[in-house]
Amino acid sequence: QNATQTVEEEKPEPPTVQEIKQKIEKYNAKVTNCLLMKLNDDGTYTGFIKVHLKLRRPVTVPAGIRPQSIYDALKEVNLAEMTDKRTSFYLPLDAIKQLHISSTTTVSEVIQGLLKKFMVVDNPQKFALFKEMRKDGQVLFQKLPLTEYPLYLRLLAGPDTDVLSFVLKENETGEVEWDAFSIPELQNFLMILDKEEKDKIQQVHRKYERFKQRLQQTLKEARGKPG
């Protein structure tokens, strides 16, 4: 008989400051782009992570607001609160954002920070942070808990992004929960889909119009030849 027994996994002891120091020294020795990790006096440390944005659905942003400047970021100016008007658009596929974070920064805080930098006003619960790993020629994704610390994962994996990278994606929980979207958001989605449909129809029309012209030209040339 096969019996399934639930066993509580023992959580590993947190590394000591000396162990963290050794790991950081080993990490920095492999860094080639000056993006080093730095150990603080209190035992925490800071460093950089890169997050790939792979969003398939449009995001909601304030309408008519300029991108956030360095001055705004330093003064913690929230441009999204300056207008109630909203619009939707697609973020560039595979856009990469570099973040300077602390060892105490959680996945939840990374997601909120990314949305703030791009002025996305959607609910952060609509998004999830994944770690991307490559093994035996395969690309594997694993969703990270909101309480996980990305910088510690980066430290353990080393600076090579081929070994480990971070990806922001939609929080797929099965079917899309349309009730989570507001009426203006849904209307914007319909407008975007309508535009994409019209663009696709025009592409198909142009494709077959070119094919028709080539076919007519070929028939015309064939009629002019003997036999």
Q: Could you tell me if 27 and 151 are in contact, meaning their C-beta atoms sit under 8 angstroms apart?
A: no
20 or 5, greater pLDDT? 20
The arrangement of secondary structure in 17-61+82-175, i.e. its CATH architecture, is Roll (3.10)
| pLDDT for the residue 181 | 65
What are the tens digits of pLDDT across the range 131-153? 998 877 788 889 999 999 999 99
- 96 pairs with which residues across the strands? 52
CA distance 100 to 150: 11
Residue 130's CB is within 10 A of a number of other CB atoms, namely 20
Residues 6+ apart with CB under 8 A from 157: 163, 164
Nearest to 120 by CA among 62, 180, 49, 74: 62
95 or 99, greater pLDDT? 99
What are the tens digits of pLDDT across the range 172-184? 755 555 666 677 7
* Span 45-72, average pLDDT: 74
Q: Could you tell me if 60 and 90 are in contact, meaning their C-beta atoms sit under 8 angstroms apart?
A: no
In the chain, domain spans: 17-61+82-175, 179-224
At 145, list the tokens.
């808990």
In the chain, % of residues over pLDDT 70: 78
DSSP state letters, 21-65: HHHHHHHHHH-SSS---EE-TTS-EEEEEEEEE---S-EEEETT-
pTM for the structure as a whole: 0.64
CA distance 51 to 70: 19
Single-letter amino acid code for the residue at 2: N
